[in-house]
Amino acid sequence: MTETWIILGASSSMARAFARKLAERGDGVILAGRDTADLERDAADARVRGAALAETIRFDARDAASFGPIVARMAACEGPVSAAVFVGSMPSQTEIDADPALIDAVVIDNFTGPARLLQMLVPLMEARGGGTVVGVGSVAGDRGRIGNYVYGAAKAGFATYLSGLRNRLTRAGGHVVTVKPGFTDTAMTWGIEGMFLVAPPDKVAADILKAVEKKRNVIYTPIFWLAIMSIIRAIPEPIFKKLSI
């Protein structure tokens, strides 16, 4: 039976690449974001690639009123339903230092907004025997660093949420994949100094789809970030707090 995916933050480069891969294997995709007119082009592309269903729907992580219609639309789909969360925002730590009020939006965009919608959607997934949740976090959530610790804290919170959700959904036959990308060529990273080993979105999307098919729990993408973050996590705190990484 055809699987239908709701893709939150569908205008991101990673989300678009992932939606193309889902379409090519015949899944249905509902592309959710704030600019549905922009997403219509991606929906048309998905139909050409073979998607069983390709639609758009409005989603704004900061507007809880947009959540109900998404859950209702997914409930109207036949068969298993799945979700992929690509939504997020990353103002610089310097901007946040100048205006601490920005913290609220960072936490909503990267954690509490997507988590709230997933909490509404999961009962439907359980009733239908599971499905898959893909939650895109970040290597930034592995350890607080001076350059982006607010963003990292939000991603760390989302990763912990996904771990608990994985425990819950597994009991209903579903699965949750936590994705921790390193630097990726997206609008969120354009213009940021110090970027290295930047991955193309299509590579990240391929890694995510492979993780879905193999029911992986947590993946780093590209895989070398697992080694990098293992080293960073192992640095003793007295040393780490003196570093500018």
pLDDT digits (tens, 9 = 90+) for 132-186: 999 999 999 999 999 999 999 999 999 999 999 999 999 999 999 999 998 766 5
Q: Are 221 and 208 in contact (CB under 8 A)?
A: yes
The CA distance from 61 to 66, in Å, is 8
pLDDT bin (cut points 50, 70, 90) of residue 189 is: very low
Amino acid making up residue 192 = I
- pLDDT over 80 (residue 3): yes
List residues bridging with 177 in a β-sheet.
134
Share of the chain above pLDDT 90, in %: 90
How much is the pLDDT for 226? 95
The 10 Å Cβ neighbour count of residue 85 is: 26
The 10 Å Cβ neighbour count of residue 35 is: 11
Upper half-sphere CA count for residue 186 (Cβ side, 13 Å): 24
Amino acid making up residue 91 = P
Residue 25 φ then ψ, to 5°: -100, 5
The 10 Å Cβ neighbour count of residue 65 is: 8
Can you tell me the mean pLDDT for 212-223? 96
How much is the pLDDT for 193? 52
How much is the pLDDT for 186? 53
Closest CA relative to residue 173, chosen from 234, 131, 208 = 131
DSSP reduced 3-state for 60: coil
pLDDT bin (cut points 50, 70, 90) of residue 192 is: very low
How much is the pLDDT for 185? 61
Can you tell me the mean pLDDT for 44-68? 98
The CA distance from 113 to 115, in Å, is 5
Closest CA relative to residue 200, chosen from 220, 182, 177 = 182
* Strand bridging mode 28-33 / 53-58: parallel
How much is the pLDDT for 33? 97
The CA distance from 146 to 205, in Å, is 29
- pLDDT over 50 (residue 191): no
Domains of the chain: 4-240 (3.40.50.720)
Cis, bond preceding 114 (omega within 30 deg of 0):
no
Average pLDDT score, the chain: 93
Can you tell me the mean pLDDT for 202-224? 96
Can you tell me the mean pLDDT for 86-107? 96
How much is the pLDDT for 195? 44
